[in-house]
Amino acid sequence: MAISIATFKLSISSRPFFPFLLKSSQSFNLPTFFRSWASTASVEALDEAEFLIKPIKSRSPGAEKVQAWKKLSSKELGVSTSSISGPTKVVLKELKKRGYEVYLVGGCVRDLILKRVPKDFDILTSAELREVLRSFRHAEIVGKRFPICLVHIGDHVVEVSSFNTGQRRSNKKSPFQFEVPTGCDEKDNIRWRNCMQRDFTINGLMFDPFARIVYDYTGALEDLKKAKVRTIIPASISFHEDCARILRAVRVAARLGFRLERETAQCVRNSSYSILRLDKGRFLLEMNYMLAYGSAEASLRLLWRFGLLEIILPHQAAYLVRCGFRRKDSGSNMLLALFSNLDKLLAPDMPCHSSLWVTLLAFHKALSDQARAPSVIAAFALAVNNGGDIEEAIDITSTISRPSEPNFHELLEHQKSEKTALKEEVQSLAISVNVALSSMTDEYAVSKAMAKYPQAPQSDLVLIPLGLYMRVCRIFECVTKGREVGFLSKQGGKIDYDMLAIGRLQEVRHVFARVVFDTIYPLSLSDHHIAL
């Protein structure tokens, strides 16, 4: 059923166009231990000119002394068990009741200390995975190289790994060895060995929620103080062992607002093309972690800064080149503004489906290829939101009085168009978005975009699989095919994040339109509401 203009006016008359829910920055009462550094840090500045990093003395294979390990009470660090999710508590308590040791490990401990909401909670236990499997009615073991047990608690999945699996991995000869820290008993030694297998120091923390003790064997707390992302073993060796760690380094730095430690930063740039060894599924997974969880803008900036964007998203990298956007540029443009506004609506525990950020990439590429008037873009976004009713979209667009963003090259000057002409332009934009999306999934087009970077190896990496391509087409095809029968556009402004995460069409279309309007008609340009 179409929304009448009167109904639309009633829903927004006292607020901006769409009830945009912008996340306000929160201030937390951090424990004394962390108050001195609880500010967002930028990526560590490198001294050399653009594209150059001064060689530094890196750690070499052999035995290296580790920092004195620490054991602190969770209370001292301001970590409360009340922040642990309900399904995670169920798994922890059941394994503990059966006599097994259980710990929270990795990024969730880091986030709890930083007073952030963890994306998920990972459990490490002394139980064998088969024993974990027998402990729960709905559980399964997945993975061959790094097996874990997935425990299903209601609609939630909790990942459980075993010390014994990690021990078998650590028994394999490594080119880099640490000296065993002093003062360790047998259990400390087991915990320490497990921590040494992790990617970054700040992901090497363990939290015993029953003893309320946090174990730090990697110098994680010191790097948290300094807001640094540092590999546990030398970065060159770490990235050679698993090149996906290069993308994870960027993702962690972007999400936390941390800097890359110098050696890690140098190896990210020097090893950038090794990520081409990753399979496409892993690429898409890592990019979704970057773009769908509230840190997309920062991720794109870091991917560009370290020479990774041209490998993964060459069309978007080519756009930044055309804009004269330097590697360390702190300015903005329409591409970054779109994802900045997307970030305001998302969070680690409130992600979007990958089809949304792919749609934004294709939408922006269409505009960067051919600039459009703000009225055309507004009507297009509204038509997407309401399921293809262009007539209604144009009627609402004609009432917009808020000024559009004046600094984007993708926007033409405002011009009056007849209704028929405007409808044709809106449909033309929809076709252009489809063409842009197709170019992002065509090996020849990707290879051609990569040719702009002669220093890069030959690559025709297509990040977007066919299934995702079809889902994205479904989002905006209503603009050219006409009003969808039975489609009900979103009512009200509250986002249903469960539906957004699984890619429900109504929810994805609505958030897409909100992001577009926040970008084209930023609130900062006017204090006035739209006159309808």
Same domain, 18 and 90: no
For residue 281, is it within any domain?
no
**Dihedral (Cα; 173, 175, 178, 184), 10-degree rounding:** -10
Look at residue 259 and tell me whether its pLDDT is greater than 50.
yes
CB 110 within 8 A of CB 224: yes
HSE-up of 393 (CA within 13 Å, CB side)? Answer: 29
Q: What is the mean pLDDT of residues 429-448?
A: 86
Task: Say whether both 86 and 162 belong to one domain.
Answer: yes
Q: Which two tokens stand for residue 388?
A: 């293809």
CA distance 82 to 530: 43
Cβ(446)–Cβ(352) below 8 Å: no
pLDDT of 171 > 70? The answer is no
Query: What phi-psi label fits residue 482: left (phi over 0), alpha (psi between -120 and 50 degrees) or beta?
Result: left
Confidence of residue 486 (pLDDT cuts 50, 70, 90): confident
Q: What is the pLDDT of residue 185?
A: 81
Q: Is residue 394 part of a domain?
A: yes
Give φ, ψ of 75 to 5 degrees. Answer: -65, -40
- For residues 24 and 414, the answer to whether their CB atoms sit within 8 Å is no
Round to whole Å and give the CA distance between 151 and 272.
35
Residue 50 has pLDDT above 70, yes or no: no
**Same structural domain for residues 386 and 305?**
yes
Task: Give me the pLDDT at residue 342, please.
Answer: 99
Measured between alpha carbons, how far is 484 from 383 in angstroms, rounded to an integer? 11
Evaluate whether residue 147 is within a structural domain.
yes
pLDDT digits (tens, 9 = 90+) for 211-231: 999 999 999 999 999 999 999
CA 55 to chain centroid, in Å, comes to: 30
**Average pLDDT of every residue of the chain:** 85
- Within this chain, do residues 355 and 497 fall inside the same structural domain, yes or no? yes
Between 104-108, 123-127, 162-166, 242-246, the lowest mean confidence (pLDDT) is in 162-166
CB atoms within 10 A of CB 146: 12
Could you give the 3-state DSSP secondary structure of residue 178?
Answer: strand
Q: Which residue in 176, 222, 261 sits closest to 68, CA to CA?
A: 222
Give the tens place of pLDDT for each residue, 307-365. 999 999 999 999 999 999 999 999 999 999 999 999 999 999 999 999 999 999 999 99
For 447-470, what is the mean pLDDT?
Answer: 73
Encoded amino acid at 142, one letter: V
Q: Quick check: 464 pLDDT over 60?
A: yes
Better pLDDT: 40 or 84: 84
Of 27-36, 172-181, 421-430, the range with the lowest mean pLDDT is 27-36
Q: Give the tens place of pLDDT for each residue, 356-368.
A: 999 999 999 999 9
Task: Please tell me what DSSP assigns to residue 14.
Answer: T
Q: Give the residue numbers spanning the domain of 387.
A: 5-22+290-523
Say what the pLDDT of residue 6 is.
40
Q: State the pLDDT at residue 417.
A: 78
Q: Report pLDDT for 444.
A: 66
pLDDT at 1: 38
Smallest Cα–Cα separation from 340: which of 523, 519, 517? 519
Chain-centroid distance, C-alpha 453: 26
The mean-pLDDT minimum among 247-251, 278-282, 383-387 falls in 278-282
> Among the three residues 213, 234, 255, which one is the final residue of a domain in this structure?
234
The predicted structure's pLDDT at residue 24 = 38
The helices-and-strands tally (H runs, E runs) of the chain is: 24, 12
Q: Rounded to the nearest 5°, which phi and psi values hold at 390? A: -70, -35
Assess if residue 352 is contained within a domain. Answer: yes
Please classify residue 219 by burial: count the beta carbons closer than 10 Å to its beta carbon, then call 0-12 exposed, 13-18 middle and 19+ buried: buried
Token digits of residue 408: 């984007």
Residues 193 and 310 placed together within one structural domain of the fold:
no
Q: What is the rounded distance in angstroms from the CA atom of residue 61 to the CA atom of residue 175?
A: 6
Is 252 a member of any domain?
Answer: no
Question: Rounded to an integer, what distance in angstroms lies between the CA atom of residue 510 and that of residue 287?
Answer: 22
Q: What is the pLDDT of residue 167?
A: 60
Q: How far apart are the first and last CA of the chain?
A: 21
User: What is the C-alpha separation between 163 and 429, in angstroms, rounded?
Assistant: 54
CB atoms within 10 A of CB 13: 11
Torsion of CA 130, 136, 141, 142, to 10 degrees: -160
Residues 65 and 163 in one domain: yes
224 and 310 inside one domain:
no
Nearest C-alpha neighbor of 422 from the set 456, 385, 467, 382: 382
Mean pLDDT of 3-21: 38
Collapsing DSSP to helix, strand or coil, 280 comes out as helix
Q: Are residues 179 and 40 in contact, defined by beta-carbon separation less than 8 angstroms? A: no
Considering the domain architecture, whether residues 302 and 352 belong to the same structural domain is answered as yes
Structure tokens at 29: 């009462």
d(Cα 425, Cα 363) in Å, to the nearest integer?
14
CATH code at position 143:
3.30.460.10
- 145: alpha, beta or left? (left if phi > 0; alpha if psi -120 to 50): alpha
Given a cut of 80, whether residue 26 has pLDDT beyond it is no
**pLDDT of 184:** 75
Nearest to 160 by CA among 96, 237, 223: 96
39 inside domain? no
Q: State yes or no: pLDDT of 15 exceeds 60.
A: no
Instruction: Assess whether 496 and 362 both reside in one domain.
Output: yes
Give 18's pLDDT tier (boundaries 50, 70, 90): very low
User: Which of 204, 234, 264 marks a domain boundary?
Assistant: 234
- The torsion angles phi and psi of 81, rounded to 5 degrees, stand at -70, -15
* 361-417 tens-digit pLDDT: 999 999 999 999 999 999 999 999 999 999 999 999 999 988 999 999 999 987 777
pLDDT of residue 85: 95
Tokens of residue 307, six digits: 């020479």
| Exposed/middle/buried for residue 214 (C-beta within 10 Å: 0-12, 13-18, 19+) | buried
Q: Are residues 215 and 316 in the same domain?
A: no
Is the model's pLDDT at 514 over the cut of 60?
A: yes
Burial class (CB in 10 A: 0-12, 13-18, 19+), 276: middle
Are 10 and 110 contained in the same domain? Answer: no
Provide the H-helix boundaries in 306-418.
309-312, 314-322, 334-343, 354-369, 374-385, 390-397
On whether residue 295 sits in a domain, the answer given is yes
Q: pLDDT tens-digit profile of 64-81?
A: 555 678 899 999 999 999
The Cα 339–Cα 294 span in angstroms is 9
Between residues 242 and 170, the one the model is more confident about: 242
In a domain, 16, yes or no: yes
What would the mean pLDDT of 117-126 be, rounded to a whole number? 95
| Count of domains observed in the chain | 2
Specify the 3-state DSSP secondary structure of 260: strand
Same-domain pairing of 17 and 65: no
H helix runs in 102-228, sequence order: 107-113, 129-135, 163-170, 186-195, 220-226
pLDDT value, residue 51: 39
**Position with higher pLDDT, 359 vs 492:** 359
Contact 192, 69 (CB under 8 A): yes
Q: What is the mean pLDDT of residues 93-117?
A: 96
pLDDT value of residue 491? 81
- Please tell me the distance from the alpha carbon of residue 438 to that of residue 49, in angstroms, as a whole number: 37
The domain boundary residue, chosen from 234, 250, 266: 234
